[in-house]
Amino acid sequence: MSASTPFPFAIDARGPLRGALTVPGDKSISHRSLMFAGLAVGESRIEGLLEGEDVLATAAAMRAMGATVERHDDGAWHVWGVGVGGLLQPETALEMGNSGTSTRLLMGLIASHGITATFTGDASLSKRPMGRVIDPLSRMGAEFTSSPGGRLPLTMRGLNPAVPIDYTLPVASAQVKSAVLLAGLNAPGITRVIEPIATRDHSERMLTGFGAELSVEDSPQGRVISIRGEAELKPQQITVPGDPSSAAFWMVAASIVPGSDVTIANVGLNPTRTGIITALRMMGADIAEIDRRVVGGEPVADLRVRHAPLSAIQVPADLAPSMIDEYPALFVAAAFADGRTIARGADELRVKESDRIAAMAAALSNNGVAIEEFEDGLAITGSAGKPIAGGGAVASKLDHRIAMSMVVAGLGARAPVRIDDAAPVATSYPSFFTTLDQLTGRDEPA
Report whether 236 belongs to an annotated binding site. Answer: no
Q: Is 151 marked as binding a ligand?
A: no
Structural contact between residues 413 and 389, judged by C-beta atoms closer than 8 angstroms: yes
Q: How far is CA 258 from the centre of its chain?
A: 29
Give the three-class secondary structure for 77: strand
Bridging pattern class, strands 340-343 and 314-315: parallel
Closest CA to 332 of 269, 411, 436: 411
Query: Are the C-beta atoms of 27 and 50 separated by less than 8 Å?
Result: yes
397 is in an annotated binding site: no
Cα–Cα distance, 411 to 17 (Å, whole number): 10
Q: How far apart are CA 329 and CA 321, in angstroms?
A: 15
**Residue 126 assigned as binding residue:** no
Point out the residues that are catalytic. 325
Asked if residue 401 belongs to a known ligand binding site, the reply is yes
356 is in an annotated binding site: yes
Rg of the chain in Å (alpha carbons): 21
Pairing of strands 340-343, 377-381: antiparallel
Which residue, 67, 16, 11, 12, is CA-closest to 37? 67
Q: Are 439 and 24 in contact (CB under 8 A)?
A: no
Q: What three-state secondary structure class fits 368?
A: coil
Residues in the chain: 446
- Does the annotation list 228 as a binding residue? no
Residue 128 is assigned to a ligand binding site:
yes
Neighbouring-strand partners of residue 233: 40
Q: Per residue, what are the HEC states of 118-147?
A: EEECCCCHHHCCCHHHHHHHHHCCCEEEEE
Residue ranges of the annotated binding site for 3-phosphoshikimate are 27-28, 32, 173, 175, 325, 352
Residue ranges of the annotated binding site for phosphoenolpyruvate are 27, 100, 128, 175, 356, 401
Residue ranges of the annotated binding site are 27-28, 32, 100, 128, 173, 175, 325, 352, 356, 401
